[in-house]
């Protein structure tokens, strides 16, 4: 073989190798990967051979696998959006909620069942909020005492005057708070003054212009009683 023929043969080999490398990198890019190392890792993770010289059929199967992964990821994303819309954090919490409400635990539900679940959650929350309001307003003296002891969090209180009491209860030292509690309990028992209505009508709704605020100010001078 002449030197010219050898050069032509080597050139053809280099050209074929370059095309094969280009084809490989194009295949890797179609899998949304960037490097040969990432491709090998992806193959291992999916139980595939990490050989680089695969035929078109193997590469086609790999692309189909990626499409299935994308579809699965999209479904899982939609599932989590629904779980979070219900105010839950995990699929396990969602399934437990479904069990507790006599619903299917499957996460693969259509738009109709998911809409019904959202409606049910709104209904349950409304019922729970109403039950809290009834419980707190049925025994207001007990509720006021629980506010001062920290047994009731602010978000549990659904009535304006109890929220206002919770606000003023945060101020002052221990003795002032004790004095305020006594005043509030006495007012609850003997009067109808516990509200957020303006104490002085002409001043309107402004900070400090309620009987609750007035009792809080009076408690600050408990040493003068």
Q: Which two tokens stand for residue 87?
A: 């105010």
Residue 127 three-state SS: helix
Question: Domain boundaries in the chain?
Answer: 1-54, 75-138, 139-224
Render pLDDT for 21-34 as a digit per residue (tens, 0 to 9): 899 999 999 988 99
**b/e string for 116-127 if b means 16 or more Cβ within 10 A?**
ebeeebeeeeee
Lowest mean pLDDT segment, chosen from 28-32, 138-142, 176-180, 215-219 = 138-142
Please tell me the least confidently modeled range out of 15-29, 144-158, 204-218: 144-158
**Residue 98 and residue 10: Cα distance in Å, rounded?**
68
Contact 37, 72 (CB under 8 A): no
**pTM beyond 0.85, yes or no:** no
Q: What is the pLDDT of residues 176-190, one digit of tens each?
A: 889 999 999 998 888
99 near 105, Cβ under 8 Å? yes
């Amino acid at each position: 073989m002449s030197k010219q023929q050898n050069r032509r043969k080597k050139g053809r080999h280099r050209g074929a190798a370059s095309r094969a490398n280009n084809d490989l990198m194009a295949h890797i890019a179609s899998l949304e990967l960037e490097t040969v190392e990432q491709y090998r890792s992806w193959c291992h993770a999916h139980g595939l051979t990490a050989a680089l010289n695969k035929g078109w059929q193997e590469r086609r199967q790999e692309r189909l696998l990626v499409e299935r992964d994308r579809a699965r990821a999209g479904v899982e994303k939609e599932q989590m959006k629904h779980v979070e819309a219900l105010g839950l954090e995990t699929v396990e919490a969602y399934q437990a909620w479904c069990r507790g409400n006599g619903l299917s635990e499957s996460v693969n539900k259509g738009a109709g069942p998911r809409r019904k679940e959202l409606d049910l959650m709104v209904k349950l929350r409304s019922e729970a909020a109403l039950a809290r309001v009834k419980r707190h307003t049925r025994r207001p003296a007990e509720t006021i005492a629980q506010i001062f002891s920290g047994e009731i969090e602010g978000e549990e209180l659904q009535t304006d005057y109890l929220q206002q009491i919770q606000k003023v209860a945060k101020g002052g030292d221990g003795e002032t708070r004790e004095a305020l509690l006594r005043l509030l309990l006495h007012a609850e028992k003997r009067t109808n003054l516990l509200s957020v209505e303006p104490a002085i009508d002409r001043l309107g709704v402004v900070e400090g212009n309620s009987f609750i605020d007035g009792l809080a100010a009076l408690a600050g001078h408990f040493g003068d009683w």
